[in-house]
């Protein structure tokens, strides 16, 4: 459970790309982690597992509540509620296990969130969703490129604007004209529909 | 045997049509690009291109998606050799000796032997798939609902044990995927499940929305967490064709790597990932002078590269014969098949022989194309290696948004995807891997249906799963594998294996 020995493997996963800061080799990074030594003694010794367990229990509880009206039926003829309830129960079980274990064995700390990335990417996607119907891709395309592009710390707005316009033009050609997908290009109600 | 070649001939007939050859080429090209480019995985790309394939014939759609998958394996090794960054997880081992060779001015030879090894491995894997398909399918056809349910349980347990990270957390993700699959109208009773009467999820959470959210968007957010440095190798790439000595040294590793990779690739979980590690270890043990490894030994490139390509291809076997996706990419293939109205499983081979054998034949054609795409175009790929991530972000998001929008022409879907992206990001921050979630989601409905039917046949007696010998055997196997993986001594060993 959330082994305290970091798996080298994890270093190559997309969650933790190998091109991490300082361009240390994977071996060096493992050694670095080991040198950090055991976590200080607190009640919750594996904070990540603790919150992971809490989230699981919360998700299970939510699904119980959301499906409270569903009939479980009998084993002989399963109702619509049986499978969701059984699965939620198992999930809650694992959640409780993780919480209990987080008090007994040291594990990973919670990872930091990069709020800049999350916020701008979310905003960009929502902006796209709000503008794609009208005025259409001509606006939605550059908009998502600029807003979401700002999520990178090295972003340059002017470059993003030019890039966004070029990419949008490419996408119009590719999706609308080459692949014939019905994407609204420019829609201003009563004036123009493309 | 004659049957085998007859089937392959049928397949080549389908795969060699002008349209399908073109589509395989596009798939391989896009796949290589994805493998080379930073921060775009095959999973996100396949999801992005899923809507594009809607208008195609089912065979063509699958040929293209498969091309992306094994194309990404080739592209991943290019960036591993030239930049010391594995474009795909399967190319991790290649960085060890491949990048050293590049530093010594032998990048071309490393790329060349990787391509040749991969092509050989692809050929072997294609033959293995063709040979195993018929017997495995005929076994699967004897299965009743109880056996099928147990088979899925066993497959999912294997997938969890052989994948990376914590087992309980992977189990939890599997269950979350199963739970998500129950959202929407229950097919059996027509009851509305956990939708709160909200129309966009009345038919369930859309597969493309979920996959794009937890793999596409969340992955972009995860990649932004680390600043990236890429040092493209400065030395000349040099000649591409390996010399006679190089070929002689590589022949053994290529053959062994292909067989190891093909064998491990069939296993559920991350089979294709274990292959290269196993092959590298084996070559190092067999070498007369193991000190050369890590300093540019060509065997250390030839073996693992063959293994990863063989594994990538044989991981199609559980999907095509049993209908059980062994990893997240195969789960996407299930999604693609379902969208085209094909239920993956043993019946595909008898009901859609053109599709089945056409796809298999296209794998070999695709590998041949990749040999051509990769070697002469290396200069082009090197240029793509220099694309900065700050420009990849807007491009990925634009393509993803358009892709998701065009699935149902729905702006709500785009927002729902963003929500899943946020959830996926939060889950990774809590140490959960998203891949098992997708597996659970894809198999959820099938599992529930088979469970229901098995219990109805057995009049509600749960003992049916252990009384029927095949079903019992599968469950015992699953329990054993799980017990062994959780046992402390073996768990340490498992972590060591993943560390190798």
Give B224-269 pLDDT, tens digit per residue: 877 656 666 666 677 778 888 888 889 999 999 999 999 888 877 6
CA distance, residue B264 to nearest chain A CA (Å): 17
What residue in A sits closest to B455 (Cα-Cα)?
A76
For residue B417, the chain A residues in CB contact (below 8 A) are 125
Q: Is B55 on the interface with A (CB under 8 A)?
A: yes
pLDDT of residue A41: 52
Comparing B320 with A25, the larger pLDDT belongs to B320
Question: From the list B193, B415, B462, which residue is nearest A67 (CB)?
Answer: B193
Strand partners, A78: A73
pLDDT of residue A92: 96
Comparing A74 with A143, the larger pLDDT belongs to A143
pLDDT at A27 over 80: no
The whole-chain average pLDDT of chain B stands at 85
pLDDT at A31 over 60: no
Confidence at A13, pLDDT banded by 50, 70, 90 = very low
* HSE of A169, CA atoms in CB hemisphere, 13 A: 5
Q: Which of A63-72, A123-132, B222-231 is the most confident on average?
A: A123-132
pLDDT of residue B497: 61
Pairing of β A192-193 and β B192-193: unpaired
Q: Is B166 on the interface with A (CB under 8 A)?
A: yes
The whole-chain average pLDDT of chain A stands at 80
- Contact, A20 vs A12, CB < 8 A? no
- Give, rounded to a whole angstrom, the gap between the first and last alpha carbons of chain B: 39
Comparing B469 with A192, the larger pLDDT belongs to B469
CA distance, residue B411 to nearest chain A CA (Å): 5
Euclidean distance between CA atoms B113 and B115, whole angstroms: 5
For residue B189, the chain A residues in CB contact (below 8 A) are 71, 79-80
pLDDT of residue B274: 80
For residue A176, the chain B residues in CB contact (below 8 A) are none
Greatest pairwise CA separation for chain B in angstroms: 71
What residue in B sits closest to A111 (Cα-Cα)?
B429
Residue A37: which residues within 8 A CB-CB, separation 6 or more? none
pLDDT of residue A29: 58
Question: Do A7 and B389 lie within an 8 Å CB cutoff?
Answer: no
The per-residue pLDDT for range B452-492, each reduced to its tens digit, is: 999 999 998 888 899 999 899 999 998 998 888 777 656 66
pLDDT at A12 over 50: no
For residue A2, the chain B residues in CB contact (below 8 A) are 166, 169, 431
Structure tokens at B356: 């089945």
CA distance, residue B134 to nearest chain A CA (Å): 33
pLDDT at A134 over 90: no
pLDDT of residue B451: 92
Q: Is B422 on the interface with A (CB under 8 A)?
A: yes
Question: From the list A5, A23, A179, which residue is nearest B229 (CB)?
Answer: A23
For residue B414, the chain A residues in CB contact (below 8 A) are 125, 128-129, 132
Question: Do B194 and A75 lie within an 8 Å CB cutoff?
Answer: no
Question: Do B414 and A125 lie within an 8 Å CB cutoff?
Answer: yes
For residue B51, the chain A residues in CB contact (below 8 A) are 181
Share of chain A above pLDDT 90, in %: 41
What are the 10-residue block averages of pLDDT along chain B, 500 residues in total? 78 89 90 78 78 82 88 83 76 85 87 90 90 85 88 86 81 94 86 84 85 86 72 69 87 93 80 80 86 87 90 88 84 85 83 88 89 80 80 88 87 93 93 88 88 91 90 91 75 60
Q: Any idea what DSSP says for residue A72? A: -
Chain B interface, best mutation among A2, A5, A7, A185, by max B CB count within 10 A: A7
Q: Which helix (H) or strand (E) holds A188?
A: strand A187-188
Structure tokens at B267: 């296993």
């Amino acid at each position: 459970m959330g082994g305290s020995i970091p798996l080298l493997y994890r270093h190559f996963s997309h969650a933790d790309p190998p091109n991490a800061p300082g361009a240390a080799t994977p071996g060096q990074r493992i050694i670095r982690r080991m040198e950090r030594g055991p976590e200080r003694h607190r009640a919750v010794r594996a904070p990540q597992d603790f919150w992971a367990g809490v989230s699981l229990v919360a998700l299970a509880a939510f699904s119980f509540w959301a499906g409270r009206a569903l009939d479980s039926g009998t084993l002989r003829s399963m109702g619509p509620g049986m499978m969701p309830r059984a699965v939620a129960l198992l999930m809650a079980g694992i959640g409780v296990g993780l919480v209990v274990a987080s008090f007994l064995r040291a594990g990973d700390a919670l990872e930091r969130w990069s709020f800049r990335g999350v916020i701008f990417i979310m905003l960009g996607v929502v902006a796209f969703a709000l503008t794609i119907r009208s005025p259409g891709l001509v606006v939605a395309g550059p908009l998502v490129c600029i807003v979401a592009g700002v999520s990178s710390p090295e972003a340059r707005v002017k470059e993003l604007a030019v890039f966004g316009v070029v990419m949008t033009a490419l996408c119009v050609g590719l999706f609308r004209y080459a692949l014939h997908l019905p994407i609204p290009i420019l829609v201003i109600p009563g004036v123009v529909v493309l | 045997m004659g049957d085998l070649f007859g089937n392959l001939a049928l397949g080549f007939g389908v795969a060699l049509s002008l349209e399908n050859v073109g589509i395989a080429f596009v798939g391989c090209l896009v796949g290589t690009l994805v493998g080379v480019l930073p921060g775009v995985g095959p999973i996100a790309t396949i999801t992005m291109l899923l809507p594009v394939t809607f208008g195609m014939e089912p065979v063509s759609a699958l040929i293209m998606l498969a091309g992306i998958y094994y194309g990404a394996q080739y592209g991943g090794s290019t960036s591993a050799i030239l930049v010391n960054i594995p474009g795909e997880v399967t190319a991790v081992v290649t960085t060890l000796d491949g990048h050293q060779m590049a530093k010594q001015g032998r990048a071309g030879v490393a790329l060349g032997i990787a391509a040749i090894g991969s092509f050989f491995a692809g050929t072997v894997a294609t033959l293995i798939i063709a040979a195993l398909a018929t017997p495995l399918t005929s076994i699967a056809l004897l299965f009743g609902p109880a056996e099928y349910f147990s088979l899925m349980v066993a497959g999912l347990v294997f997938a969890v044990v052989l994948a990376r990270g914590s087992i309980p957390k992977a189990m939890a993700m599997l269950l979350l995927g199963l739970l998500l699959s129950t959202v929407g109208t229950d097919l059996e009773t027509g009851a509305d499940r956990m939708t709160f009467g909200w129309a966009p999820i009345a038919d369930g959470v859309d597969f493309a929305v979920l996959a794009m959210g937890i793999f596409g968007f969340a992955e972009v957010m995860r990649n932004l967490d680390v600043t990236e440095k890429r040092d493209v190798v400065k030395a000349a790439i040099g000649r591409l064709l390996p010399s006679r000595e190089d070929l002689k040294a590589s022949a053994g590793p290529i053959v062994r790597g292909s067989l190891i990779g093909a064998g491990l690739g069939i296993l559920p979980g991350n089979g294709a990932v274990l292959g290269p590690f196993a092959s590298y270890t084996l070559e190092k043990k067999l070498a007369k002078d193991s000190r050369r490894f890590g300093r540019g030994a060509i065997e250390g490139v030839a073996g693992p590269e063959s293994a990863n390509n063989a594994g990538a291809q044989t991981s199609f076997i559980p999907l095509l014969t049993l209908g059980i996706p062994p990893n997240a990419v195969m789960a996407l293939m299930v999604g693609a098949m379902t969208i085209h109205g094909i239920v993956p499983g043993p019946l595909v081979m008898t009901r859609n022989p053109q599709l089945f054998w056409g796809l298999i034949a296209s794998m070999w054609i695709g590998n041949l194309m990749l040999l051509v795409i990769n070697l002469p175009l290396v200069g082009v790929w090197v240029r793509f290696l220099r694309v900065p991530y700050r420009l990849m972000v807007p491009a990925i998001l634009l393509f993803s948004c358009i892709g998701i929008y065009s699935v149902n022409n729905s702006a709500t879907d785009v927002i729902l995807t963003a929500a899943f992206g946020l959830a996926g990001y939060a889950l990774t921050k809590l140490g959960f891997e998203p891949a098992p979630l997708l597996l659970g989601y894809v198999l959820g409905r099938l599992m529930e249906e088979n469970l229901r039917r098995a219990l109805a046949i057995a009049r509600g007696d749960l003992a049916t799963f252990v009384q029927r010998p095949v079903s019992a055997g599968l469950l015992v196997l699953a329990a054993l594998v799980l017990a062994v993986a959780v046992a402390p001594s073996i768990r340490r060993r498992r972590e060591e294996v993943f560390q190798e």
